[in-house]
Chains A and B, each alone.
Chain A
């Protein structure tokens, strides 16, 4: 296959139709990526591409020749042949042979891609409108949980009619506009990582081109995929399945750290987790909760209910003046913990921890003229 490909590159390059090297420079082609899967996919993509180029040269060549040579204005007289069983057989069999020779490497690559066995660690990925949640299921970082949303600076720049242009965005964000998050996913290099993908509300798809695949995250179901990155680095991607209003604004950032750096990172996360656990056990002041709740609200709820609590008529209800946010705490807690089936209101039970949940509820109950009560982390713990 490789020799065939090189031969084709040479032929096509020589006819000046395309210069292979131009591909890399102008981001015209698929990225080779940093995993065995992405490289295998790149290879197979290039093979099928050149196969198409070759067939194209033959077919278009014949057409163009015919259009030049067999035109009436040149005095061409039409032949009257109109069938040939031999030709029909030839141009049925040759494509079949080409396709079979394509199917073999494709099958091999696919089988390797789908083999999630013998993983070193597992990370659960949950798509939520419009952010990603990562749970480290086992390994050194077991119990660590990350919520990853579009970086606040980008979130501000992408608002309608803020007068942004290509230049202003490039000046501010380089080539990372919309591809940066507040909290990235951190993985160790050299380990086979198994991903379990699911979603809380609608279907999303988790895609980092450099890893070589995307996979749907489907509410109520768990999909599997895997990766093994050898080179430390930052790899960026995006949600690839339409998931509503802010589908274009839920990027993915994967930071691959070598084992030593990864261990350090795990330590820092464990410390933060311990602090969080301690925080959940104490009684909070109202102001503290409101201040924290505002942050939680802005990253998790404002996309729908809006920063001013007014919602979007017809799609997302207002929290300001809402009967739920002003009524009994239990109903409010239940709405946010369990969501509303069949609507865009997802269940936040598994997305927010006790402190964040208590904080956001308290914030909603005490903002925009709402006159509600305080909900403590312990209240949330009690209903879990």
Chain B
């Protein structure tokens, strides 16, 4: 039993009561919870839009929505999932875990922490409110390419402002992460002793701080192009629409790594626990993460092979993109080596972690194929790309978040979740997600472009199968909600270590649930 646990409620005050606790809280655990619940809500809103998309694509012909609304569904689905679900979920995990994993009492900047969370509900209300304005929601794709995006109706400035707000929130969250990690580690917690989740988040935070302003700049230029008669992106006024794409993807490619690096950290925590064996190649994991982060800044134009770059540019971006597969591969090999000769059990977090490794690797393979520039002249903007990024994002980022939720839920709530239901959730999700996305590789290769509401009949069979997979996957996520709800309400008490093989300060030195204020005295690092 730790020192902290026995002193629970003694020299520290508990949370305030009622709604105001959540509005005014500066506690990293409360804010972490807020972020995670917000992300869950957004996951279902974005998911509902995906269901509309899959319903329309269930068979050829237009049955459900008109094309303009369809386009706004794909656009807002992506914006909500990326900026509303995955990023806030990772920030929520960072809030909960980073202080506990480095032995700090809280985040370094608690008031800013509160503020950066509470911006988000406003940002996304603004974004969703555009659906009720003249001209409807944004329908130019989540990439908001001009000139098309400039054709949006009255909602345009609201969408831009929503992106600004979400960006400000991310930047503040990232500053908090960096300051916390660099200043508040317990004595003896050297950088190379930090858990990988902390490492990956530190690097992610730098990526965010470097790239969010770039996005903000790009969308601000869109705003002035529309309302202030500038022509940054209009050839008629001396500007260049392709310039927007360069700026966007200079943000956008690091962004996709923002969406996956914390996932690498989570999986690197879970696999050793259930293999009962230390992580293989800790330092190479750190270096691989850093090299991925560096490379992610010099590959952006692989999203733009078909815009008509000079061939030297195409070659450069092809080679650089192929390079990024190397450190990514190193990570996968290290995880497999961690499993190798372990003593494995397969509780739900481990299932999701293994699902992550396998299916993320599949997404990596299609990424490698997309990196081959000449072949990308066929793959680009087809369902093949859609399959690629859903493998890395759904079975990658989202799976890691679910793995994390199952892994740390007993620590957070003090209660074990329902293991049977968790396993059902994993298996139904995993089968249906593959039924959903694997056929999209075939569709793309066979010639189906992305972002279309209707298609030729030869694509009908796979689309129907994909839609069925989609509906099952969507529904099965309700199980996740039930699991979380039940664990918060009660259940078998979790031990402090929770898992037999778990290591790290949060499992070794804190009770389950941890006290409201943990590590008021710095822990001793062995």
Report A's interface with B, CB cutoff 8 A.
26-31, 37-38, 40-41, 44-45, 48-49, 52, 55-56, 59-60, 62-63, 66-67, 70-73, 76-84, 87-88, 91-92, 95-96, 99, 102-103, 106-107, 109-111, 113-114, 157-166, 168-170, 173-179, 197, 201-203, 205, 207, 209, 212-216, 218-221, 223-224, 237-249, 313-315, 341-344
Contact = CB atoms under 8 A, between A and B. Distances in A.
A63 B13 CA distance: 48
B342 A70 contact: yes
A49 B375 CA distance: 11
A63 B350 CA distance: 13
Contacts of B311: 110-111, 114
A221 B153 contact: no
Contacts of B71: 242, 244-245, 247
B28 to A, nearest CB: 30
Contacts of A161: 62-63
B279 interface: yes
A103 B322 contact: yes
Contacts of B139: 244-245
A174 B60 CA distance: 12
B240 interface: yes
Contact of A71 (B283, B343, B368): B343
Contacts of A201: 147
A347 to B, nearest CB: 9
B314 A110 contact: yes
Given A99-B323, A178-B454, A92 B330 contact: yes
Given A165-B61, A212-B377, A219 B235 contact: yes
Q: Nearest 6 CB-CB pairs, A to B?
A: A220-B235, A314-B134, A164-B61, A248-B452, A223-B308, A314-B135
A219 to B, nearest CB: 6
Nearest to A96: B326
Interface string B351-387: 0001001100110011011001111011011100000
Contacts of B485: none
Q: Most chain-A Cβ atoms within 10 A of its Cβ — which of B151, B361, B381?
A: B151
B281 A30 contact: no
Contacts of B157: none
Report the interface size class on chain B: 35 or more
A41 to B, nearest CB: 5
Interface of B: 59-63, 65-68, 71, 133-136, 139-141, 145, 147-148, 150-151, 153-154, 225-226, 234-237, 240-242, 275-284, 306-308, 311, 314-315, 318-319, 322-323, 325-326, 329-330, 332-333, 336-346, 354, 357-358, 361-362, 365-366, 368-369, 372-375, 377-378, 380-382, 442, 445-447, 449, 451-458, 460
Contact of B354 (A37, A41, A63): A63
A44 B375 contact: yes
Given A79-B277, A176-B456, A342-B225, 12 more contacts: A29-B446, A88-B330, A92-B329, A92-B330, A106-B373, A159-B62, A203-B241, A205-B306, A205-B381, A220-B241, A248-B453, A314-B136
A98 to B, nearest CB: 9
Given A48-B368, A107-B315, A70 B236 contact: no
Given A27-B458, A91-B329, A62 B340 contact: yes
Given A110-B315, A241-B381, A221 B308 contact: yes
Given A88-B284, A220-B236, A220-B241, A248 B135 contact: no
Contacts of A111: 311
A220 to B, nearest CB: 2
B277 A78 contact: yes
Contacts of A49: 369
Nearest to A87: B337
Given A92-B330, A103-B318, A78 B153 contact: no
18 contacts: A63-B354, A72-B276, A72-B345, A78-B275, A79-B342, A91-B333, A99-B323, A160-B65, A175-B457, A202-B147, A203-B145, A203-B147, A205-B306, A218-B242, A221-B242, A248-B67, A315-B68, A341-B234
A37 B377 CA distance: 10
A73 B68 CA distance: 55
B325 A79 contact: no
Contact of A169 (B61, B226, B235, B275): B61
A214 B380 contact: yes
Q: Most chain-A Cβ atoms within 10 A of its Cβ — which of B59, B148, B315, B339?
A: B148
Given A30-B378, A71-B345, A78-B275, A55 B145 contact: no
A67 B351 CA distance: 11
Contact of A212 (B366, B378, B452): B378
Given A27-B446, A248-B455, A315-B135, A45 B378 contact: yes
B151 A343 contact: yes
B340 A70 contact: yes
A95 to B, nearest CB: 5
Contact of A73 (B236, B345, B358, B451): B345
A96 B345 CA distance: 34
A219 B145 CA distance: 13
A2 B358 CA distance: 28
A160 B66 contact: yes
B372 A203 contact: no
Contacts of A63: 336, 339, 354, 357-358
Given A110-B315, A209-B378, A247-B452, A78 B60 contact: no
Contacts of B68: 245, 315
B319 A103 contact: yes
A9 B280 CA distance: 33
B308 A218 contact: yes
A161 B63 CA distance: 5
Contacts of B377: 41, 113, 212-215
Contact of B451 (A48, A165, A173, A247): A247
A332 B61 CA distance: 36
A221 B235 contact: yes
A20 to B, nearest CB: 14
A119 B354 CA distance: 53
A83 B280 contact: yes
B449 A238 contact: yes
Contact of A79 (B153, B341, B361, B460): B341
Contact of B325 (A30, A70, A73, A99): A99
Contacts of B372: 44-45, 48, 102, 106
A91 B288 CA distance: 12
B98 to A, nearest CB: 23
Nearest to B439: A28
A290 to B, nearest CB: 29
Nearest to B339: A66
A249 B326 contact: no
Contacts of B147: 201-203, 219, 342
